[in-house]
Structure 1
């Protein structure tokens, strides 16, 4: 039997290695930028064309290479940074991968110009598919310029797997951000298709953050520093009010290398506990410095995931550092010992966005009966006491009788609150004792098969033959729909009682409306009185460029309005009044999470994101009976009324037997 094991040809081995190192143009950007930083450059320029598919070029003013080093840099396992096994455990440099340039040269056309300081001439190398076609002396400035052209020109299958220019450019911006944030002492610039996107001078970290991520952070940065014998944490965090719907602006660096760590992110969120609005994410740029021997950076090929020798200690120090920074900058809630904690001012009622309906009253005001004379007298007495304090008078003077106008005003105020108003002079009834409400067992969900995890759930048949939901017809002759806790809709049906989650139902209705609008080619829009400019971070702006067409189909209208800025001219019809910036950030974040977890079509993911966002914005709102009935009608007119787009139930059905069981258990 002949031998069948043989060595691979060098060009094929390089292409296999390139599959690990070079996944997309952003991989080339990362390797070249890190090599430039390691070369001691003080100025680095990144030039890309066609999102890196046509050209990725990095120009630096670092040490440069001799002709021999330039040629050796293209060999596999060639490096200037590792000499022994011990060096693997003391790595503090970035671009130490020995096969990086060799792998890039295996799948692209590469041009290298380099000159060492003090030398009269430099070297020019032309490489194509791992083959050095030319190496000649040339005149060039100090440093190195590496141009990678026509990526994957000799591997068409790999090139076909590249995403759109907007997607690839977003990944390039991410890598550029990581290196630029980690090295504020170096000047960086980025050119895309001959247009300057960033021009970042050397400076402090805070200046780099503002220049890179936007002026919105200028007043939101809080310094963070904690020094221990084991670990040093330095950087900046954002104030809680600056938290965003998208989680893009969160950066960890360990020994100046960008990493991703859900474990450390949890430590930061633990420090912010109780301070952040719902579904928002804080900003942070944190640098961790510790002994390289206590970490393993070879867990992931791109070195973005690492292992700590003592994870619990790292977690505790990071959390303590962030918590201390929040306290030092007076960002955590504190007690006001100067104010009277027993008397809080009565705040006016808030109304839900877009409906004008009053929200649920605070608990202390919910069951208060109003006696106009008593309350007005109390107010007058308080005013008299305050006046006497100021003039040195006695506090024991009888309070003035309230005027008739004051009595009428207070009576009207309590009528707006929906509280009972008793005639003047009537005595207050004693407060009845509080009766504890028994805890009911958990309500069962409808016995229906859950939808598929990906895509749109299949429609469910109506009727009760298979234990499924009956389809109610809500109208003038139908049972009344009642709202409970400003969140649920209670509806009597023939077989029992139906409970509808108001937010989930609205999400299903909106989703199907948006899908129908996209199918028809354009959504209904409502024009804004004045265009509203919104500035995004580079990463969010790159995502927005991907979503321009689907957003247009949903009813959004906007135009470019400068670097990383758009002017919003119209939004989808019936969208509740709210900040457009928060809306776009929420859509971008939900699009990221939805598209990555379920691998949905872009339009599908965006329709889901917008439906969820709008439904959340209009939740916990009191609705009149007409609107409740209309909500039920619209829900059961949907193709799949039983579930939200991501599979959460919208309806719970309790039959007579289940209702009776609650009372049997309660009385047992």
Structure 2
């Protein structure tokens, strides 16, 4: 039998490695911007075309590379960061594996221009699909200029599975946000198709957060700063009243590297326990600074999952730090000793008079079994009284007390019916006897037992079918706002909102771009009854971001689902009896009352037999 095991060619091995390191255009942006930071750049420019499909350009003013280093940088596992395995546990730079450039060059057309600051000429290298096409001297600026063109041109299957341009651009913006927040001292800009998304000047942490997420977040930031022998924790947390119901403003950094850490997230959530609105998630921008030997950043190709040696101890320090910050700014409720009903502490007496024992007055001649007690006198210490004969109760003529108050059964009130009211449940009384339970469910009796309705999912179904009917009939009815409202979004949400504005207008929204990630709401759909359109739009964006459907597929249906979720009655909202009846009537007028637009059950019936089993 012939030998069948052979070594893979470098080009194929690089394409396989690219599948782990380069998942989408945002991965290229992340790797190249981190390399620029490692090169000591203080100014980084990112230019994108078609969400990275056509062009990704990264320009920095870092140290640059010599002609030999420029060529060696594209070899697999070539790095200047480590020389032995022990160096991995002392690493403070972003990249160190030496896989990024080799992986990018294997699946794209790459042009590199780089020059060291003390050289007159730089180096130009052109690589396509791991094949070196050109390497020559060139006149260029100090630093490095990467141009990545036609990403995944030789891996059509990977290119086919890329999402729409708005979705891929959102991922790029998220990567830039993480890098910008971790490095506020670096000037950073992002342009897409010639339009500026970010122009971030060198600043401090707070200014950088406000520059990215808008000026409204500034009033909610609470500083946190704790330093121990184990770890230094710094950054900002958000006030509970500004918490949102979905993720988006939660960031952990360790030694200036972004990371995901669900365990530490739970520590923060426990610190906010009992002071958050229902289902809300607070904002936080927290940096950990500790010895690199105490963490392992080499457990995932993207280096976003990091293992801590003293994880439990840091968890305790983090929770205590957040609680302390909330307490300093009077967010956590404190004991108010001035409140009414508090314990009164008597003042110390200045004249120490002799305190006499309290006296108890007792009648030794009292007999509870005697119906009549003779008059006797009793003298006690300090007082005297005489007991009088007990009065004989009047047991005659008691009927006269109630004279004139006898009920007249022959008389009949004007509003009293001829026949006594019978207690029965029919179809009309079903909705009247419905009750709300835990401000979340509606309980209503039916012939076979008890029906339980999820109020939020029921309202989602009602709104969704109304919105879809509007779309099908092209009956756009917009209710104009008496006072148009202006609101500001971060770059990621602003890009997403711009991409779905045509579908929102088809539903009756009148939203205009106001420039610089600001928008103005002039009108809302007539089918919605809302006094806070901005809150609806923010909830819509959050629901839309979590939608599994691509923006290109069933876009209007996706908007209708997201809008129905954002506008539905929230859990915890108390309903009046009339509102309960109206909700039930509208639900059973729907084509599919049993399921929400997302396919979740709206109602369930508990048979009467189950109740009988419970009571046996």
Structure-2-length-normalised TM-score? 0.80
2:98 corresponding residue in structure 1: 98
592, 596, 601: which one aligns with 1:640: 592
Offset of residue 490 of structure 1: 5.1
1:540 corresponding residue in structure 2: 493
2:260 corresponding residue in structure 1: 260
1:451 corresponding residue in structure 2: none
Offset of residue 496 of structure 1: 4.5
Secondary structure at the aligned position of 1:616 is classed as coil
8 Å Cα contact 2:459/2:569 also seen in 1 = no
Secondary structure at the aligned position of 1:559 is classed as strand
1:563 paired to 2:516: yes
User: 1:109, 1:527 → 2: CA distance?
Assistant: 51
1:322 corresponding residue in structure 2: 322
User: 1:85, 1:250 → 2: CA distance?
Assistant: 33
1:164 corresponding residue in structure 2: 164
Secondary structure at the aligned position of 2:102 is classed as helix
User: 1:237, 1:311 → 2: CA distance?
Assistant: 20
8 Å Cα contact 1:518/1:550 also seen in 2 = no
Offset of residue 514 of structure 1: 3.0
557-566 vs 609-618, which moves further: 609-618
1:148 corresponding residue in structure 2: 148
Q: Tell me the C-alpha RMSD between the 2 structures.
A: 2.8
2:415 corresponding residue in structure 1: none
User: 1:176, 1:654 → 2: CA distance?
Assistant: 52
User: 2:449, 2:321 → 1: CA distance?
Assistant: 55
Q: Relative to 1, partners in 2 of residues 1:70 and 1:612: Cα closer, same or farther, differing over 3 Å?
A: same
8 Å Cα contact 1:226/1:321 also seen in 2 = yes
Q: Relative to 1, partners in 2 of residues 1:498 and 1:290: Cα closer, same or farther, differing over 3 Å?
A: same
1:111 paired to 2:111: yes
Structure-1-length-normalised TM-score? 0.74
8 Å Cα contact 1:255/1:289 also seen in 2 = yes
1:198 corresponding residue in structure 2: 198
1:573-612 → structure 2 map (5 Å cutoff): 573-595=526-548, 603-612=556-565
User: 1:556, 1:334 → 2: CA distance?
Assistant: 44
8 Å Cα contact 2:466/2:527 also seen in 1 = no
Q: Relative to 1, partners in 2 of residues 1:210 and 1:630: Cα closer, same or farther, differing over 3 Å?
A: closer
User: 2:533, 2:517 → 1: CA distance?
Assistant: 15
2:334 corresponding residue in structure 1: 334
Offset of residue 73 of structure 1: 0.8
2:121 corresponding residue in structure 1: 121
User: 2:431, 2:28 → 1: CA distance?
Assistant: 65
Offset of residue 214 of structure 1: 1.1
Q: Relative to 1, partners in 2 of residues 1:487 and 1:105: Cα closer, same or farther, differing over 3 Å?
A: closer
Offset of residue 582 of structure 1: 2.4
102-111 vs 149-158, which moves further: 149-158
8 Å Cα contact 2:434/2:445 also seen in 1 = no
Q: Over residues 304-362 of structure 1, what are the superposed CA-to-partner deviations in whole Å (9 max), with x where a residue is unaligned? A: 111222321121111111111111222222233334358xxxxxxxxxxxxxxxxxxxx
1:631 corresponding residue in structure 2: 583
Secondary structure at the aligned position of 1:218 is classed as helix
8 Å Cα contact 1:235/1:286 also seen in 2 = yes
Structure 1, unpaired ranges of 5+:
343-471
User: 1:587, 1:571 → 2: CA distance?
Assistant: 13
User: 1:657, 1:158 → 2: CA distance?
Assistant: 56
User: 2:338, 2:284 → 1: CA distance?
Assistant: 33
1:310 corresponding residue in structure 2: 310
Q: Relative to 1, partners in 2 of residues 1:6 and 1:179: Cα closer, same or farther, differing over 3 Å?
A: same
1:176-575 → structure 2 map (5 Å cutoff): 176-340=176-340, 480-484=432-436, 489=442, 491-520=444-473, 524-575=477-528
Secondary structure at the aligned position of 1:561 is classed as strand
Secondary structure at the aligned position of 1:233 is classed as strand
User: 1:250, 1:109 → 2: CA distance?
Assistant: 35
8 Å Cα contact 1:576/1:618 also seen in 2 = no
8 Å Cα contact 2:456/2:570 also seen in 1 = no
Secondary structure at the aligned position of 2:515 is classed as coil
